A and B are shown apart, each in its own frame.
Chain A
Amino acid sequence: MSSITEAIAISSEKIRPHQLEVERLVRRISSIGICVLAWHLASTHHVDLGLVTFQNVPSPQEVLAAGWELLQSGKIVSHLTASMSRVFSGYLIAVVTGIALGLIIGRSRTSGDTLLPPLEMLRPIPAVAWIPLSILMFPSSELSMIFITFTGALFPILLNTIHGVEAIDPRLIASARSLGTGHGAIFTEVILPAAAPSIFTGLSIGMGTAWFCLVTAEMIAGQFGIGYYTWASYTVQNYAEIVVGMLLIGLLGMTSSLAIRKLGNAMMPWRVSGANK
């Protein structure tokens, strides 16, 4: 019996690697390539589909030129650092509050009844609606912007943490207690790791939604930020630059979400080495 399970473990390791990975990477990159090609054709031929028209949409070449200009101007570094520090600050605060609140709410019905209703009421409020109040409430515009990205990241993290905690098999907790686990250790030894897969899903989605709120947040900004750059380009009707900003945000959001997922996989080796992943 032992040799069989070992054989399975070894063979499944051997099937996975390189060739398959390379194939998947090629498929993914060509998918983006096809989208850019379609965009190129639609914009250069000024395709008009009635309901949606590409007549005034800048072409990939124009966008590339605008991107190159941004790169040449040297301002891109300031834009990037400003945006990233805002997004990551808001995100980090959301991670701490989201997970802490989620653990408490998921574990106790009383705290759920007390804490969830106001949170559920705040959840549907879009980031843009928070702008006036966040300007009023925080001493600096920097903090206001961090707050807006925070509101974007908080709810996916919070809700996934709650879901993860509520979905824990009660037998796991009972077993742990029968093995001598105290009330505090139950949180660190059982609840947190058991909810970890769901929490990481929330962290990955939250990373995306934090970037999602960036343009909104940086409407308040005076000088720097990718969101500011995008918004400022809109006000002067420079469409190519808008698309540059959009693509940059998409790229940064995708990369940081991916980084979170990779981090999750690294921290949860039992899931990667499981039979079916």
Chain B
Amino acid sequence: MMNLLAESSPVPAIQGQMQGQIDIKNLHIRLGHGKNEFEAVQNVSVSIQPGEFVCLLGPSGCGKSTLLGALAGHLAPCSGSIQVDAQLVKGPHSDRGLVFQHHTLFPWRKVIDNVAFGLKMKGLPRAERHERARELLKLVGLAGFEQHYPSQLSGGMQQRVEIARVLINHPRVMLMDEPFGALDAQTRMMMQELLLDVWERIRTTILFITHDIDEALFLADRILVMSPRPGRIIEQIPVVFTRPRQSEIWTSDHFIHLKRRCLELLHLKNADFPLRRLTPLGTAPYP
């Protein structure tokens, strides 16, 4: 599977040198217009290694999604720079895949054509893109659902299709905005394990937003904790549980210790009032 995807990647990766290095320098982002303008992200500088799994943890409305949107190229920074593999981010690109909290599958396309969409945009012939879409659907456990429409799937299945659709482009970076936030607890745990499993096979840098501390600790190599608005990174917490991770770590002492630390950080800095939710596309609320 991995061979197949690596071979067909547009830029063959040089042996031992993975892609997906993110460098953010002195990033400021302002949202809104006129009187309503405010600073959503304030002076963020951070580097993320190729293939690293980083979770961005912070209270609601703190600018996590804004940062993600800027990385995806949907929001322009006010000052500072974002580079991926030494290239300045100027707009959306298939190298930087984006997964929202609620799926954005095209309702008019069957599952297989949704997954194959990125390859269609690259001009690949139909037979080839369907073959690779089938491989990815198998990888996310949805073999047999090729001919369904998205509306016929459950929420968890829709997100799995969404992830497959992003991964078929073999992106340098996968940006995920609380992708499991709308799922029930059971499905969410299943999806977390599935994501780690898929990530072991198709290694890509992942920046994953969540406000669920358990989720961040279970998934990440490193957690970046953000302050309430204006969003700044107030702490970086390395998470060194061995991989592949089992659900037993949830109850380990170290897990509890890290969780307590995260709680302190979030509580300490929590705003007294709930802030309006921000999205990777700006201030507009999700429909």
Residues of chain A within 8 A (CB-CB) of B156 are: 1
CB distance from B287 to the nearest CB of A (A): 6
Q: Once the chains bind, are A185 and B281 in contact (CB under 8 Å)?
A: no
Interface of B is mostly: loop
| Interface membership of A11, Cβ < 8 A | no
Would you call B151 and A174 a contact (CB within 8 A)? Answer: no
Known: A178-B92, A178-B96, A179-B165. A169 touches B106 (CB 8 A): no
- Name which of A1, A180, A268, A270 has the most chain B CB atoms within 10 A of its CB: A180
Bound complex: CA A274 to CA B153 (Å): 10
B42 contacts chain A at the CB level, 8 A cutoff: no
Q: Which residue of A lies closest to B117 (CB)?
A: A179
Which of chain A's residues have a CB closer than 8 A to the CB of B100?
Answer: 171, 175
Complex: A172 Cα to B150 Cα, angstroms: 14
Knowing A2-B145, A169-B287, A270-B151, the reply to whether A180 touches B169 (Cβ < 8 A) is yes
Residues of chain A lying within 8 A (CB to CB) of residue B281:
170-171, 174
Beta-carbon contact of B94 and A179 below 8 Å? yes
- Check if B104 sits within 8 Å of A172, measured CB to CB: yes
Our pick among A179, A273, A274 for the contact of B97 (Cβ within 8 Å) is: A179
Given A2-B144, A169-B104, the answer on whether A275 and B151 have CB atoms closer than 8 Å is yes
Could you tell me the distance between the alpha carbons of A209 and B117 in the complex, rounded to whole angstroms? 38
Q: What residues of chain B lie closer than 8 Å to A43, measured between beta carbons?
A: none
**Whole-angstrom distance between the Cβ of B278 and the nearest chain A Cβ:** 14
Q: Specify which chain B residues have a CB less than 8 angstroms from the CB of A1 in the assembled complex.
A: 154, 156-157
Binding site of A, secondary structure by majority: helix, strand, loop or mixed?
A: helix
Residue B108 at the chain A interface, CB threshold 8 Å: yes
Q: Is the CB of B280 within 8 A of A174?
A: yes
Query: Is the C-beta of B72 less than 8 angstroms from some C-beta in chain A?
Result: yes
- The answer to whether A174 touches B74 (Cβ under 8 A) is yes
Name which residue of chain A comes closest to B94, CB basis.
Answer: A180
Tell yes or no: A33 within 8 A of B by CB: no
B273 at the interface (CB under 8 A from A): no
Q: A2-B145, A270-B151, A273-B149 are in contact. Are A175 and B98 (CB under 8 A)?
A: yes
Nearest CB in chain A to that of B74: its residue: A174
| Interface flag for A181 (CB, 8 Å) | yes
Task: Using A1-B154, A171-B286, A174-B92 as known contacts, say yes or no to A180 and B122 having CB atoms under 8 A apart.
Answer: yes
Residues of B within 8 A of A172 (CB): 104, 106
Q: Mark B102-120, 1 if CB is under 8 A from A, else 0.
A: 1010111100000001100
Task: Say yes or no: is B2 at the interface (Cβ < 8 Å to chain A).
Answer: no
Complex Cα distance, B152 from A9, in Å, reads 8
Besides A5-B157, A170-B284, 7 other CB < 8 A contacts?
A169-B287, A171-B279, A174-B72, A177-B74, A178-B74, A196-B108, A275-B152
User: What are 22 A-to-B residue pairs whose CB atoms are below 8 Å?
Assistant: A1-B154, A2-B145, A5-B153, A169-B287, A174-B281, A175-B100, A176-B106, A177-B91, A178-B72, A178-B92, A178-B96, A179-B117, A179-B118, A180-B94, A180-B121, A182-B121, A190-B106, A196-B108, A270-B108, A273-B152, A275-B151, A275-B152
By a beta-carbon cutoff of 8 Å, the part of chain A in contact with chain B is 1-2, 5, 9, 169-172, 174-182, 185, 189-190, 193-194, 196, 268-270, 273-275
Question: 6 tightest CB-CB pairs across the interface, nearest first?
Answer: A180-B94, A177-B92, A175-B104, A178-B98, A180-B121, A179-B118
